[in-house]
Amino acid sequence: MTTFKDRFPKKARTARKSEAQGKLTLAEVVEILVAGRLPLNFTAYDGSSAGPPDAPLGLELRTPRGTTYLATGRGDLGLVRAYIAGDLEMHGVHPGNPYELLKALTGELIFTLPPPRVTAQIIRSIGTRHLRPIAPPPQEGAPRWRRVVGGLRHSKARDAEAIHHHYDVSNTFYGWVLGPSMTYTCACYPNPDASLDEAQENKYRLVFEKLRLHEGDRLLDVGCGWGGLVRYAARRGVDATGVTLSEQQAAWARQAIADEGLTDLARVRYGDYREVPETGFDAVSSIGLLEHIGVRNYPSYFDFLQSRMRPAGLLLNHCITRPDNRSEPSTRGFIDRYVFPDGELTGSGRIISAAQDVGLEVVHEENLRQHYGLTLRDWSANLVEHWDEAVAEVGLNTAKVWGLYMAGSRLAFETGGIQLHQVLAVRPDDGGAGEMPLRPWWTP
């Protein structure tokens, strides 16, 4: 492979050589931007190529429109737009699981800023027409500044729209990806060889035990999804109420409850968790909801959940987190525009502080980061297995969004870029935390 050093030994020589050579090919532009360190083969519609020609992985830039997307998209949006629209094609991986290609890119590819004269040469080579933004693929959501027409961020109306964007894709599609459990949150693998369904059942078991639920208790599950925990609890004699902002989830969950004959103990409502009127629950679970709440709303969120609990009742919060407490919580780029509009992630420390500041006593927390990497691995495998059906159900572009999102998220969990924390807290009664065991009472 020709390296950047071989082609352009010095910055000054780079500019002179570029000008002497005239117009750069698209492959030459890529080589300059990545300093010649391409871990895969790159080919373009102008006939040029770069990187190892026998590499098992490759990227093919197929159209001029793809060049415009790459040149005008901020952060990862350019690559994503070109890929989703079909202007950039991945080779050597399945679109339902492009994990290995993303791993190669994130592990070895480092973009560099060339000197001004070389930058000018690149612009002249690709043409100024490619620097004018064009409409993104229809799967891309509006930027945050345009979403204000739907209300302020994390207002009830805007939260409902964000949930609809992500969760009301298709219950059939979700069934192919999630498997029979219809559980769209991190599983907990009892051993490395456990199946996805075993791991999801084990996660529900872990939550149930942490909340010290027994027959006759009352559980409130906010952001309940398709009602997996609600049904798990009801099978064990617990009166369980779930609430979700997804109409499709609520409809599916109600039918599943009826099919299992659990209607006397289980119910799932379509609505905002802030509208739950009942109080006195023995336990409250929130699994995968906090990511949609907004950091500035943590105090009111925890205060409301505490108000639904009886004294000495337990709360378990399970959500994706950042590895620190300093980062900007708002998601950007691909995740915000294509996957989780208005999503916000922060560190477990900020979550624990917010819970403590409203009077809850935090008694345990743990990080299930590695388990989410395994969960995403298995979801990706399901999507590959049902790829043709998924494309027929939601369309090729949407299926590609999901393949990219799950593979990229798997990488992030594996490398520690994001994590998954469960935080267990108790609402103190007049005498403190009540009759709590001296040590953790659940099976790991």
Same domain, 123 and 171: no
438 within a domain of the structure (yes/no): no
Domain interval for residue 292:
156-426
440 within a domain of the structure (yes/no): no
Same domain, 109 and 201: no
For every residue of 349-396, DSSP letters joined together read HHHHHHHHHTT-EEEEEEE-HHHHHHHHHHHHHHHHHTHHHHHHHH-H
**Which tokens belong to 406?**
């799950």
Using the predicted structure, report yes or no on whether residue 17 has a pLDDT greater than 50: no
Q: What does the pLDDT look like over 119-133, one tens digit per residue?
A: 999 999 999 999 999
Its pTM surpasses 0.85: yes
Number of domains in the chain: 2
Cβ neighbourhood burial of 134 (10 Å; 0-12, 13-18, 19+)? exposed
Same domain, 119 and 261: no
Same domain, 20 and 96: yes
Cβ neighbours of residue 214 closer than 8 Å, sequence gap 6 or more:
237, 238
> Residue 334's domain is classified under what CATH number?
3.40.50.150
Same domain, 351 and 228: yes
Using the predicted structure, report yes or no on whether residue 227 has a pLDDT greater than 80: yes
Q: What is the mean pLDDT of residues 370-385?
A: 98
How many Cα atoms sit within 13 Å of 30 on the Cβ side?
A: 24
How many Cα atoms sit within 13 Å of 421 on the Cβ side?
A: 22
Bridge partners (DSSP) of residue 222 are 243, 286
How far is residue 327's CA from residue 166's CA, in Å, rounded to a whole number? 24
How many Cα atoms sit within 13 Å of 354 on the Cβ side?
A: 23
6-9: which pairs have CB atoms within 8 A and are 24 or more residues apart? 6/36, 7/31, 7/36, 8/32, 8/118
443 within a domain of the structure (yes/no): no
Q: Of the candidates 230, 11, 216, 32, which has an alpha carbon nearest to the alpha carbon of residue 122? A: 32
* Among 80, 114, 131, residue at a domain's last position: 131
Q: Burial letters for 277-301: b for 16+ Cβ neighbours within 10 Å, e otherwise? A: eeeebbbbbbbbbbbbbbbebbeeb
Position 113 scores a pLDDT of 80
What is the percent of the chain with per-residue pLDDT over 70, rounded to a whole number? 88
Q: What is the mean pLDDT of residues 412-432?
A: 91
Give, in degrees to the nearest 5, the angle at Cα 406 between 405 and 409. 85
436 within a domain of the structure (yes/no): no
149 within a domain of the structure (yes/no): no
User: What is the pLDDT confidence band of residue 8, given thresholds at 50, 70 and 90?
Assistant: very low
Same domain, 246 and 102: no
Position 22 scores a pLDDT of 76
Position 145 scores a pLDDT of 58
Residue in this structure with the two tokens 């750069």, named with its chain if needed = 24
User: What is the pLDDT confidence band of residue 332, given thresholds at 50, 70 and 90?
Assistant: confident
Same domain, 74 and 206: no
**Which tokens belong to 308?**
């639904």
Using the predicted structure, report yes or no on whether residue 342 has a pLDDT greater than 50: yes
Average confidence score pLDDT of the chain:
90
* Among 131, 164, 197, residue at a domain's last position: 131
Position 15 scores a pLDDT of 38
**Which tokens belong to 216?**
């006759």
Position 11 scores a pLDDT of 37
**Helix count (H) and strand count (E) of the chain?**
18, 11
Amino acid at site 369: R
Position 1 scores a pLDDT of 35
Same domain, 108 and 177: no
Cβ neighbours of residue 348 closer than 8 Å, sequence gap 6 or more:
321, 325, 365, 367, 419, 421, 423
- 111 vs 378: which has the higher pLDDT: 378
350 within a domain of the structure (yes/no): yes
Q: What is the mean pLDDT of residues 246-252?
A: 94
Q: What does the pLDDT look like over 19-71, one tens digit per residue?
A: 445 799 999 999 999 887 899 999 999 999 999 999 999 999 999 999 999 99
Position 378 scores a pLDDT of 98
Position 10 scores a pLDDT of 39
435 within a domain of the structure (yes/no): no
How far is residue 131's CA from residue 110's CA, in Å, rounded to a whole number? 22
Same domain, 119 and 164: no
Contact in structure between 222 and 285 (CB atoms under 8 Å): yes
Position 231 scores a pLDDT of 98
Same domain, 97 and 216: no
Using the predicted structure, report yes or no on whether residue 363 has a pLDDT greater than 50: yes
Q: What does the pLDDT look like over 279-303, one tens digit per residue?
A: 999 999 999 999 999 999 999 999 9
How far is residue 55's CA from residue 92's CA, in Å, rounded to a whole number? 9
Same domain, 87 and 171: no
User: What is the pLDDT confidence band of residue 433, given thresholds at 50, 70 and 90?
Assistant: low
Q: Of the candidates 320, 318, 317, 342, which has an alpha carbon nearest to the alpha carbon of residue 418? A: 320
How far is residue 171's CA from residue 207's CA, in Å, rounded to a whole number? 24
- 116 vs 17: which has the higher pLDDT: 116
Position 4 scores a pLDDT of 32
φ, ψ (nearest 5 deg) of residue 294: 95, 130
Position 129 scores a pLDDT of 94
400 within a domain of the structure (yes/no): yes
Helix (H) or strand (E) segment spanning residue 233: helix 228-235
Same domain, 280 and 335: yes
Residue in this structure with the two tokens 């805007």, named with its chain if needed = 158
